[in-house]
Amino acid sequence: MKKYDIVTVGSSLRDIMFYANTGVISQKEVWELHYGGKVMSDRVFLEYGGGASTAAVSCARLGLRVGIISSIGADEYGGEMRKHFRAEHVDTSMLYTSSHHTGFSFILVHQRTGEHVAFIHYGAAEECVLPQNFKTLNTEWFYVSSLNTTQWPKIMRTLIAHGGKIAWNPGNTQLRSSSHILKEMLASVHTLIVNEDESLLFARSLSEKKESLRQRIRLLHGAGPKVVVITRGRKGAMSFDGTTLYIMPKVDDRPVDTTGAGDSYGSAFVAGLHMYKGDIQRAMDLAALNSASNVAVVGAQRGLLYRSDLPRHLQPHI
């Protein structure tokens, strides 16, 4: 039976990237557009996105044996997605072909700041169907991104029961769930990867106290994960394993496009844990490098690094 280093679980989408400078960016991180106005662009791109898709390509380029559990439609976009995965050396045997069309998103990117607003129609990505041979699936890791289905707790419980290590980068559907479900999941995942705002939502499900960021990461770790990662955009990231608090300093480069930044960081961090035998500092270095490369170009996947791109100190000795 085929052995995987990691299997990603979640959405696969086609992304329409639309660049514009129209509108006002306020101090409250709000992009103001007027009703009836026209937003013009001379830069439009058709890209690949979705959490599981981006994570799968990220790990495959870094040399891992990768499979993906995701749903696509029996349409042109779905066919393109399948070809894309094969070209990136991602195993497609667990892709589910849905009666719904392949999900897609329209992503409005502010040309000056690189920040974006996404309009998403999940379509087939609202389904997550585990393969029939799931119980015998041989993988070290599952990387679970946003699951856009009300059945997500059942899927997570099935993944947990499998026994593979779970890295969890939850989405909005998960973050809106009840505190007892979130606590149940936190108690069973190996690695939790969230951004700063998401960490606050998780912390509120665990405590009524207002915690500082450093207190918050310890609080989340105490709920069960062996490793907690909090990303902070250009302000860097931090990680905690119960003993050491690792700090990644801020990044000075201005992004071209922040689409896929979270999954490019999270997936590379998990790939680093695998490649460097659990060395968190090297995993964070790899994740920061991968994410910085990815946000420097258009799309959620174009800038993902290949293993051959890595500097000498990040080349795995395996």
> What is the average pLDDT across 285-314?
90
Specify the DSSP class assigned to residue 234: G
pLDDT of amino acid 26: 56
Q: What is the mean pLDDT of the chain?
A: 91
Residue 125 token pair: 């990505």
Residue 44 token pair: 């439009």
Of 209, 261, 257, 249, nearest in space to 58 by CA: 261
> What is the average pLDDT across 182-189?
96
Instruction: Tell me how far the alpha carbon of residue 80 is from its chain's centroid.
Output: 21
190/116 Cα distance (integer angstroms): 30
Say what the pTM is.
0.92
What is the percent of the chain with per-residue pLDDT over 90, rounded to a whole number? 71
pLDDT of amino acid 257: 62
Provide CB contacts within 8 A for 18, sequence distance 6+.
Answer: 39, 41, 43, 44, 106, 107, 108, 109
What is the percent of the chain with per-residue pLDDT over 70, rounded to a whole number? 95
CA-based R_g, the chain, Å: 19
Domain ranges of the chain: 3-26+42-130+138-302
Of 214, 171, 163, 154, nearest in space to 188 by CA: 163
What digits encode the pLDDT tens for the residues 215-242? 999 999 999 999 999 999 888 899 999 9
What digits encode the pLDDT tens for the residues 113-129? 777 888 999 999 999 99
pLDDT of amino acid 229: 98
pLDDT of amino acid 24: 57
More confident residue, 151 or 110: 151
pLDDT of amino acid 37: 79
What digits encode the pLDDT tens for the residues 21-69? 776 555 557 777 778 878 888 889 999 999 999 999 999 999 999 999 9
Quick check: 260 pLDDT over 80?
no
Instruction: Please name every residue paired with 97 in a beta bridge, in sequence order, or none if there are none.
Output: 72
3-26+42-130+138-302 carries CATH number 3.40.1190.20 = yes
226/114 Cα distance (integer angstroms): 33
Quick check: 100 pLDDT over 70?
yes
169/164 Cα distance (integer angstroms): 16
pLDDT band per the 50, 70, 90 thresholds, residue 108: confident
What digits encode the pLDDT tens for the residues 2-24? 899 999 999 999 999 888 877 65
| Cα angle 292, 306, 315; round to 5 | 90
> What is the average pLDDT across 257-263?
76
302/123 Cα distance (integer angstroms): 24
